Amino acid sequence: MQLFLMIALIIVSVLLVAVVLLQPGRSSGLSGAITGGAEQLLGKQKARGLEAVLHRATIVLAVLFFILTGLNAYFL
Amino acid sequence: MFKAISNIFRVRDLRRKIIFTLLMLIVFRIGAFIPVPGTNSDALEMLFGGANAFGFLDTFGGGALSNFSIFAMGIMPYITASIVVQLLQLDVVPKFAEWAKQGEAGRKKLTQVTRYGTIVLGFVQAIAMSVGFNSMYQGAGPGLIENPSVMTYVYIAIVLTAGTAFLMWLGEQITAHGVGNGISLIIFAGIAAGIPNMLNALYTSEIEGAGDQLFLSIATVALLALIVLLIIIGVIYVHQALRKIPVQYAKRVVNRSQVGGQSTHLPIKVNASGVIPVIFASALFYFPSTIASFVGPEDKAWARWIVEHFVPSSWIGGSLFVVLIIAFTYFYTFVQVNPEKMADNLKRQGGYIPGIRPGQATQSFITKILYRLTFVGALFLATIATIPVVFIALLDLPQQVQIGGTGLLIIVGVALDTMKQIEGQLIKRSYKGFIN
């Protein structure tokens, strides 16, 4: 059980990193509070097609990541 | 003020954005309490709360590092990657410099490089952190990692990297669907989360343990509150401060109609570099003491000397810290505000500063003004960063009490930026905002 949870968490973690990187970065970096520069406002468009699939996948993987980490911490 | 707040919740779209932002920040706070499997976070407790690199990093994560949670690294790898990519645009990597000039398309490429850099830096940092923290406890009771092995270190590093990747994504979602800048708000939430702990430590040390000197303790707390208020006012004042350089545009005839001829101004912020110089200076300043801590100050005299003197409360450490902040403020200001590019843009648009010739003379004039403004900005940053150290020493306060410093600079800065965004949304819908 312990080994299964460990492997599952590693797989979910790697997938989470991959899915996050596959999505185009929407962030405008660090705002003026941190870097002092002026912040640019981005178009807040809704995700479409593959982007929407990746977006949903990130949510599912994030939930699994939280649950598996909690279970791993409990069993380990 | 209260009318403006009620107006925010009257606008359905804005209300949805604020609720979304708050929910995302709650997710971040929940994650800060989920420990990394196979670790013993109790082993870390003695490290935090002091004026060291660990305490500094823990400030940004709101206790995520001291809990050794899945968000232990917080968003720090992203900040580092952003700064590195920004610095590499200064003709260090020609490709990056080229992308920087390409506008939106180039910015997207640079954002993607930053994201990949975050993961690489995060993974390296996670392994270094796990190995480093664990080595500090060899022979001193149970270590941080219960079964240390190469596989365990890689496993922990993967989990921590996934945590950082998720935080980066969370920040992007806040930027896209919420209010304010997501990454900044995550840092803001981390710092703000440490405030109740700080107040609790202050209450325990000053009020509960006061005994006969209760009046004196209350006076100390009142003085502290006044200092914090003055710091906040000072930070707001300097954050908003601008030097407006007048600019005149030459009249031109385009398609038989006259354009230009109007006068405007070039705004230059007093603190153009934000809080980055303090973060840079802190990282560099705490680096030797962090290495010395990992080596073991008990055995080696040089390591003990570094640990004792490379703290802001010592004269050597304090002076070095101030010098580093001033040096980095100058360096980063000229990264953010490029006088050569400014002068070139003005010349191309047919603009000039009255009494100053376009081109080289304009560049020299802007540089001179920037040097003067940066001196004020650098002194301000150095003062704000050293205030906590001075008052903790003077009033004999517990180490958890952090007044001023980087945290307050970020909190006030992010709050102002977010408020301006909400203000813009309110004015767009013809409501009165906070400022007007």
Average pLDDT value for residue range A30-39: 55
In order of start, what are the domains of chain B with their CATH numbers?
1-193 (1.10.3370.10), 209-403 (1.10.3370.10)
Mean per-residue pLDDT of chain B: 78
Nearest CA in chain B to A15: B162
Letter string b/e over residues B274-311, b meaning 16 or more CB atoms within 10 A of that residue's CB? bbbbbbbbbbebbeebbebbebebeeeeebeebbeebb
Tell me if B38 and A76 make a contact (CB, 8 A cut-off). yes
Burial of residue B83, with CB atoms counted within 10 A of its CB: 0-12 exposed, 13-18 middle, 19 or more buried? buried
pLDDT band per the 50, 70, 90 thresholds, residue A15 = very high
Which B residues 116-135 touch A at CB under 8 Å? 116, 119
pLDDT band per the 50, 70, 90 thresholds, residue B410 = confident
The distance of A7 to chain B (nearest Cα, Å) reads 9
Q: Which of A23-32, B31-40, B50-59 has the highest mean pLDDT?
A: B31-40
Task: Choose the closest CB to B336 out of A33, A35, A69.
Answer: A35
pLDDT band per the 50, 70, 90 thresholds, residue B432 = low
Q: Distance (Å, rounded) from C-alpha B289 to C-alpha B302?
A: 11
Q: Which of B67-81, B84-98, B113-127, B388-402 has the highest mean pLDDT?
A: B113-127
The pLDDT assigned to A38 comes to: 45
pLDDT band per the 50, 70, 90 thresholds, residue A42 = very low
The distance of B68 to chain A (nearest Cα, Å) reads 12
Instruction: Please indicate if any CB of chain A lies within 8 Å of the CB of B8.
Output: no
Which B residues 260-289 touch A at CB under 8 Å? 269, 271-276, 279
**Does B217 score more than 60 pLDDT?**
yes
β-partners of residue B268 are B243
A38 or B371: whose pLDDT is higher?
B371
> Sheet holding B351-352: strands in order across?
B263-269, B242-249, B351-352
The pLDDT assigned to B47 comes to: 57
pLDDT digits (tens, 9 = 90+) for B138-154: 555 566 676 778 878 88
The pLDDT assigned to B281 comes to: 83
CA angle B219, B222, B228 (to 5 degrees): 145
Average pLDDT value for residue range B377-394: 79
Strands (E) across B305-414 are located at 351-352
Q: Which of B68-77, B153-162, B412-421 has the highest mean pLDDT?
A: B153-162
The pLDDT assigned to A44 comes to: 45
CA angle B127, B128, B133 (to 5 degrees): 105
Q: Calculate the dihedral angle through the C-alpha atoms of B152, B158, B162, B165, rounding to the nearest 10 degrees.
A: 140
Average pLDDT value for residue range B323-340: 84
The pLDDT assigned to B338 comes to: 79
Half-sphere exposure of B69 (CA within 13 A, CB side): 21
Chain A residues in contact with B172 by the CB 8 A cut-off are 23, 25-27
The distance of A1 to chain B (nearest Cα, Å) reads 14
Q: Distance (Å, rounded) from C-alpha B103 to C-alpha B109?
A: 10
Residue A14 corresponds to which tokens in the numbers above? 């790697």
**Does B354 score more than 70 pLDDT?**
yes
pLDDT digits (tens, 9 = 90+) for B96-144: 887 887 777 886 788 889 888 999 989 987 888 788 777 765 555 566 6
**Does B341 score more than 60 pLDDT?**
yes
Which B residues 388-417 touch A at CB under 8 Å? 409-410, 412-414, 416-417
- Helix, strand, or coil (residue B295): helix
The distance of A39 to chain B (nearest Cα, Å) reads 8
**How many beta carbons lie within 10 A of that of residue B341, not counting itself?**
12
